């Protein structure tokens, strides 16, 4: 009788790493960075604790991998790239709606940003920014297509003001709670867009 040998499937290092990153992401969002232990991450990813250290030096190294996998910049950049408008005002309004829609669908992105800002002083945000800078610069240039419509602001100033306002929109909703009426959220976004475009002064 011929003996049949069953080959054991070899471990997949890439899949194992993805399991760990995914599990760490869930726990960091639920418990915070300092509230999560490597042992908990090992249990959540159904792996031995030693396996985590085969992939990551420590918890800081693991958070870096989580942020690389889940940081909000690629999603925001896609929203900007897909925004169109006949002029700067129309483009800004369209981009604002797209950004808020995307972030509403992915509240985990803002939570991860909070963790990075509080626990790491925004270190990982700064490290991720250069990868999307060219695309962000393109959006600023699209806003400046009609020089007569805008004050002479730098690309950096336009982008800082734009993202500052709309990050604030979501962060205040997380801190204060969303309005019970969806129309109120839409109205708040419209007002914020008006502030971005025209300021708060009547003259």
Check which CATH number belongs to the domain holding 182 and give it: 1.10.357
- Chain centroid, CA 91 distance in Å: 21
- Exposed / middle / buried, residue 66 (Cβ in 10 Å: 0-12, 13-18, 19+): buried
Report the C-alpha gap between 141 and 69 in whole angstroms: 28
Are 106 and 169 in the same domain?
yes
Q: Which residue has the tokens 């025209």?
A: 198
Coil/strand/helix, residue 63: helix
Q: Which domain holds residue 49?
A: 13-69
- Could you tell me the pTM of the whole model? 0.80
Q: Do the domain assignments include residue 6?
A: no
How many domains is the chain partitioned into structurally? 2
pLDDT along the chain (203 residues), means of 10: 47 81 97 96 94 95 96 90 91 90 85 92 92 91 85 88 79 70 79 85 71
* pLDDT value of position 105: 85
Quick one: 55 and 103 in the same domain?
no
- Same domain, yes or no, for 125 and 182? yes
Least Cα distance to 18 among 74, 66, 71 occurs for 66
pLDDT at 1: 47
Does 84 lie in the same domain as 55?
A: no
Contacts of 132 (CB under 8 A, 6+ apart): 73, 74, 76, 77
pLDDT the model gives residue 173: 73
Question: Is the same domain home to 97 and 184?
Answer: yes
Residue 185 and residue 102 share a domain:
yes
């Amino acid at each position: 009788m011929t003996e049949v040998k069953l080959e054991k499937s070899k471990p997949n290092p890439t899949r194992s790493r993805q399991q760990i990153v995914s599990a760490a992401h869930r726990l960091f969002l639920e418990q915070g960075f300092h509230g999560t232990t490597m042992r908990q991450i090992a249990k959540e990813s159904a792996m031995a604790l030693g396996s985590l250290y085969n992939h990551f030096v420590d918890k800081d190294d693991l958070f870096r991998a989580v942020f690389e996998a889940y940081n909000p910049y690629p999603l925001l950049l896609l929203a900007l790239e897909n925004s169109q408008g006949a002029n700067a005002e129309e483009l800004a309004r369209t981009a604002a709606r797209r950004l808020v829609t995307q972030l509403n669908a992915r509240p985990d992105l803002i939570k991860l940003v909070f963790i990075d800002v509080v626990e790491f002083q925004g270190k990982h945000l700064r490290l991720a920014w250069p990868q999307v800078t060219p695309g962000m610069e393109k959006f600023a240039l699209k806003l400046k297509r009609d020089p007569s419509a805008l004050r002479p602001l730098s690309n950096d100033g336009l982008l800082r003001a734009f993202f500052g306002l709309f990050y604030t929109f979501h962060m205040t909703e997380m801190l204060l709670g969303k309005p019970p009426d969806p129309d109120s959220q839409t109205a708040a976004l419209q007002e914020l867009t008006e502030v971005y475009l025209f300021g708060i002064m009547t003259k």
